[in-house]
Amino acid sequence: MRSPMLTAAEEKEARDLFQLGYSISAISRHLGRDRATIRAYLRGERTTGAPRARPSALDPFLDYCRRQLTGSPHLPAAVLYADVVTRGYSGSYSSFTRTIRTHRLRPDCPSCGRGDGHAGSPAGPATREVPVQAPRRYAERVARPGNSEANIR
């Protein structure tokens, strides 16, 4: 299925053909598009280019989030999310953090020098990765001669 949007070249061609006196029906047949689509572009109801940004559920809370993060750049996103939910935000946590990142609400931290729009607390011993080891029995069975992972299951 083709996109309901015209490309810039298609829009230009539709406008040129319309200026030459072609009907909307003839232009739609020529471009292989619906008449309503051609009509909307010729009337200026639609334009090519980037789609309009849809409002976010977080929009009413953006100023509040900006103030909170300016006052405390290391405020964990989960804490701010819980606070905003109590104020009426109904979106998901992942939508919340995505909007915080895309609007670049988290300021640079003067004390630690981080300016990457980070979320959460600074990395430290509590956030280091712990290697995961396979259970001993599984590892011993695979290590025996003649055994392979495919034979064990």
Question: Mind giving me the DSSP string for the chain?
Answer: ---SSPPHHHHHHHHHHHHTT--HHHHHHHHT--HHHHHHHHHTSS-SSSPPPPPPTTGGGHHHHHHHHHH-TT--HHHHHHHHHHTT--S-HHHHHHHHHHTT-SPPPTTT---S---SSPP-GGG--------HHHHHHHHSTT--HHHH-
What is the reported pLDDT for 132?
55
At the second CATH level, the architecture of 1-52 is: Orthogonal Bundle (1.10)
What pLDDT shows up at residue 49? 76
119-151 confidence digits (pLDDT tens): 444 444 445 555 555 556 655 655 666 655 555
pLDDT digits (tens, 9 = 90+) for 49-87: 766 778 889 999 999 999 999 888 889 999 999 999 999
Looking at 17-21, 29-33, 51-55, which range is the least confident one? 51-55
Give residue limits of the domains in the chain: 1-52, 59-121
